[in-house]
Amino acid sequence: MTEITASADLQKCAEPEDKPSQPAVLEIIEELEKIHGYFESFSIAYYMNKHKAEELYKTMVRLKRIRDEFEKQKERCVDLIKRDGESQIILDVIEYIDDALHYIRCLQDEYIMQGVDKKKPMH
């Protein structure tokens, strides 16, 4: 490999990916930034309300909605990959979503394993 070819390869790697899916990925990232604030807030609320059945139930319902939103955004990423092929940015976004979904599943498992009657509150 010549020095010119190696230099050109490095330059190509340094350039941002220019794919048709780029605007859609940026839109997904914007949505995830909005969701992330709620995700953090409800994750903290889970531990703060751990011993308050009604509040904990409400937090779990909200976390389920956040989980559904993460799954929706992941589906959008998968559709982009099917349409335009893989890109590092899409794979990074999917990895972030998978990590968030794993954390939510852990909270849900912990909630279930507590075994205390923390079902829907009666009014």
Q: pLDDT per residue over 67-113, tens digit each?
A: 999 999 999 999 999 998 888 999 999 999 999 999 999 999 999 88
Please report the pLDDT score of residue 10 as a whole number.
Answer: 34
DSSP-derived 3-state class of residue 49: coil
* Structure-token match 């941002």, residue found: 16
Q: pLDDT per residue over 7-36, tens digit each?
A: 344 344 334 555 666 888 889 999 999 999
H or E element that contains 46? helix 22-48
Rounded-to-integer distance, Cα 122 and Cα 30, Å = 38
Please report the pLDDT score of residue 35 as a whole number.
Answer: 92
Domain ranges in the chain are 20-113
Quote the DSSP letter at residue 86: -
